[in-house]
A and B are shown apart, each in its own frame.
Chain A
């Protein structure tokens, strides 16, 4: 079967099989190092993408569900100011997610801040559950999220003021 959707802003017209996982289909459409079909059970977060602005595990999403949706991978998100806020905050807070989960953690933080601009510590901890990699010390990661929230709100506030 063939489905249409947009991927990082570009229209796609793709031949898929009913049993294809979305992550494998997306992998074939370009160079997306952020997309790793790892646990295949909605756990590790190495396949996270935004689908219609909602963060989902593309490994447990059947590809056919992508029809008529808008999908954004980390590579598409990385060009945004929101991503820059988060990357900067991770460096400032000396939080060092490993190369395996870095991009997933950035998307995870982005989704939280989009939903809750000034998250409480309990909300931050709940969000960390989306990426199961235990490489990162939660203390600086929590600090990084708080810094990213501040940077994001400052940037948006300044824009509103202009």
Chain B
């Protein structure tokens, strides 16, 4: 049974994919946040429909979890409301839904644990502490000690398509179609639960669309559910969440509470930082360790700090798993440090730009005892350009003056402007080599067409266009003669995670290498010619006892973002007026596409700032209807410039930059506009007005 597909250039959409004799499956979900001894009962199912529970799966000889930290179905314990308990399978998805709603669930309910900022040791999923230098001594000598707690809320992400998977057979293999950023993880998970060799499973990636790093590990869970059901029913099975189900029960960005205590000298230079970082990861998160490691490495931004103490926790609660979205933890860190610098600017008093300038990490220096920085961070170039584009200095001074005259924002214009600096690096803490492996194969055939096989790596249409353009330029070929094979991950290859743009950049570099190798052989060997390039990236950085080993800024692209916002003083709603970004990301292969992609990402990042905080503890079906996205009427003007692209030889990723820099910049501009430090994002208009009133 081969699934109907669109042409090779476009990836299929899971939503419209179908195969003959396919059945649908709906997930039976728990209706309570914490329970034990759960049972699923259905009185009578119509002909052609069946219920599958973990017991049926075990009787078939399969597993119901990929690992203790990635269950496919709830085991003895229910850990969050909506946790999968079983499946209803049948020909009509509408009837499957109705039957799933009607099942009777019995369990012994327990008191759920929602509190996470103060937590029990049993809630700790992962913990890391690190000390470098002598923070205690530095605090004694400091001219000023300041402390703040910064909160980042839970966000849904507006994916292009709800979560799902289609499991079927093609010849002798189990083939799973799903929109996953990490197909080799899916393959390994499916092989594990089916207890078959990985060679018997192939993963075909469907169009992911806007993924925002929410499709890293959860698709593996859904793929396993579909594969297990297909095995039991001996028929192809498709699971496709409804949009509401996706909104309520798929993983969101983790919540964070970061306490920063800083010791500074009289010029605002950091002498020490004492940081406690708590990440609420929900019921579980297979990437909790990476999340914590990345957040820790990013907590100083690119500011210098000689002494640091960090305590970081990934804490479990009885809510939906909260995932690795948002640069896998880095965005929490950037938000906190930038918010703290804002705070320092108020109390010292200096401008945020002065404090940042005083603390910028210089070439030859490092934090955490890591390898020294090999090149200057282009801080000055980026900042100067941003200030020029946005007229930052004049506006900042004007808005400060307005605020002094009208502290309660009772009249006149309420505006703020801020600049934030950030970076995106391709560092990873993944210790297992498979997590850092990518491979590419290019084939020039006798018809002089080039096919590129990325072994499962699938980027967005813009990324795929970039890969083709790269090959076209290297080989001086017309793009219409270059074709990307559909991404299939099978046993012969590994494919590391395609996070926001790290994987895309690595694959692009591999395409360059493979094309270079092919070019050398092109006019000397007969066709077809095949060239391969692969990389097994060692972990760039590791936390050791007393230092961070490696180069945390490896492959970094740098970015400055300025945002000007206006707050409606009647409703408290903050509206972004203009966004400027200056980016140094090396060589930009397709500048127009990159600009387009960045502008779309800016709008997505702004949704994180103005959107309603999703409360997984109080999740209700109605809250699905009340989602907020930035209205097109309120789209800001966006200006983006690339620095030094024409002189650079190497491309670097830039997809995460809006998500790393826009929330902190928005927050900083908001604090200037309203003259308060709310210490959290997002904020509703009514919250802002209330705080102004209380002030």
Which residues of chain B are within 8 angstroms of A137 by Cβ–Cβ distance? 595-597, 599-600
Q: How large is the interface on A (under 10, 10 to 19, 20 to 34, 35 or more residues)?
A: 20 to 34
**A145 CB → nearest B CB, Å:** 12
Is B369 an interface position by the 8 A CB rule? no
Interchain CA distance A88-B628 in the complex, whole Å: 32
CB-nearest residue of chain A to B599? A137
A44 and B243 form a contact (CB under 8 A): yes
Which residues of chain B are within 8 angstroms of A136 by Cβ–Cβ distance? 596, 600
Is A147 an interface position by the 8 A CB rule? no
Which of the segments B53-61, B156-164, B266-274, B673-681 contacts the partner chain? B156-164
- Which B638-660 residues have a C-beta within 8 angstroms of A? 638
Is A68 an interface position by the 8 A CB rule? no
Is B629 an interface position by the 8 A CB rule? yes
B632 and A40 form a contact (CB under 8 A): no
Known: A38-B15, A137-B596, A137-B597. A98 touches B209 (CB 8 A): yes
Q: B632 touches which one: A33, A96, A135, A138 (CB < 8 A)? A: A138
B209 and A39 form a contact (CB under 8 A): no
A24 and B94 form a contact (CB under 8 A): yes
Binary B-proximity of A78-122 (CB < 8 A = 1, otherwise 0): 000000000000000010101111000000000000000000001
Which residues of chain A are within 8 angstroms of B607 by Cβ–Cβ distance? 134
**A125 CB → nearest B CB, Å:** 4
Q: B16 touches which one: A36, A41, A43 (CB < 8 A)? A: A36
A99 and B599 form a contact (CB under 8 A): no
**A83 CB → nearest B CB, Å:** 19
CB-nearest residue of chain B to A94? B592
B242 and A99 form a contact (CB under 8 A): no
Known: A40-B243, A94-B596, A100-B209. A138 touches B629 (CB 8 A): no
Known: A134-B210, A134-B629. A99 touches B13 (CB 8 A): yes
Which residues of chain A are within 8 angstroms of B460 by Cβ–Cβ distance? 98
Is B461 an interface position by the 8 A CB rule? yes
**B454 CB → nearest A CB, Å:** 18
Binary B-proximity of A3-30 (CB < 8 A = 1, otherwise 0): 0000000000000000000001000000
**B162 CB → nearest A CB, Å:** 7
B596 and A100 form a contact (CB under 8 A): no
Q: How many residues does chain B have at the interface if contact means C-beta atoms less than 8 Å apart?
A: 39
Q: Select the residue from B595, B600, B607 with max chain A CB neighbours within 10 A.
A: B600
B243 and A99 form a contact (CB under 8 A): no
A140 and B596 form a contact (CB under 8 A): yes
Is B535 an interface position by the 8 A CB rule? no
Q: A133 touches which one: B160, B207, B624 (CB < 8 A)? A: B160
Which residues of chain B are within 8 angstroms of A140 by Cβ–Cβ distance? 596
Q: A96 touches which one: B160, B462, B604, B635 (CB < 8 A)? A: B462
Which residues of chain B are within 8 angstroms of A138 by Cβ–Cβ distance? 599, 603, 632, 635
Interchain CA distance A36-B15 in the complex, whole Å: 7
Interchain CA distance A36-B162 in the complex, whole Å: 11
Binary B-proximity of A40-52 (CB < 8 A = 1, otherwise 0): 1101100000000
Known: A39-B243, A125-B632, A139-B599. A96 touches B592 (CB 8 A): no
Interchain CA distance A94-B465 in the complex, whole Å: 12
Which residues of chain B are within 8 angstroms of A33 by Cβ–Cβ distance? 16
**A39 CB → nearest B CB, Å:** 4
CB-nearest residue of chain A to B600? A137
Is B631 an interface position by the 8 A CB rule? yes
CB-nearest residue of chain B to A34? B16
Interchain CA distance A128-B630 in the complex, whole Å: 11
Which residues of chain A are within 8 angstroms of B633 by Cβ–Cβ distance? 122, 125-126, 129
Is B398 an interface position by the 8 A CB rule? no
Known: A126-B632, A126-B633. A135 touches B210 (CB 8 A): yes
Interchain CA distance A65-B210 in the complex, whole Å: 34
Which residues of chain B are within 8 angstroms of A126 by Cβ–Cβ distance? 632-633
A128 and B210 form a contact (CB under 8 A): no
Interchain CA distance A49-B504 in the complex, whole Å: 36
Q: Select the residue from A41, A96, A129, A135 with max chain B CB neighbours within 10 A.
A: A135
Is A53 an interface position by the 8 A CB rule? no
**A144 CB → nearest B CB, Å:** 12
B243 and A38 form a contact (CB under 8 A): yes
A125 and B629 form a contact (CB under 8 A): no
B599 and A100 form a contact (CB under 8 A): no
CB-nearest residue of chain B to A33? B16
Is B686 an interface position by the 8 A CB rule? no
Is B347 an interface position by the 8 A CB rule? no
Known: A38-B15, A129-B633. A100 touches B161 (CB 8 A): yes
Binary B-proximity of A131-153 (CB < 8 A = 1, otherwise 0): 01111111110000000000000
22 contacts between A and B (CB under 8 A): A33-B16, A36-B15, A36-B16, A39-B243, A40-B242, A41-B624, A94-B593, A96-B593, A98-B460, A99-B209, A101-B160, A128-B632, A129-B631, A133-B160, A134-B158, A134-B210, A134-B607, A137-B596, A137-B599, A137-B600, A138-B599, A140-B596
List the 7 shortest-distance A-B pairs measured between CB atoms, nearest first.
A137-B596, A128-B632, A137-B599, A39-B243, A125-B632, A100-B160, A33-B16
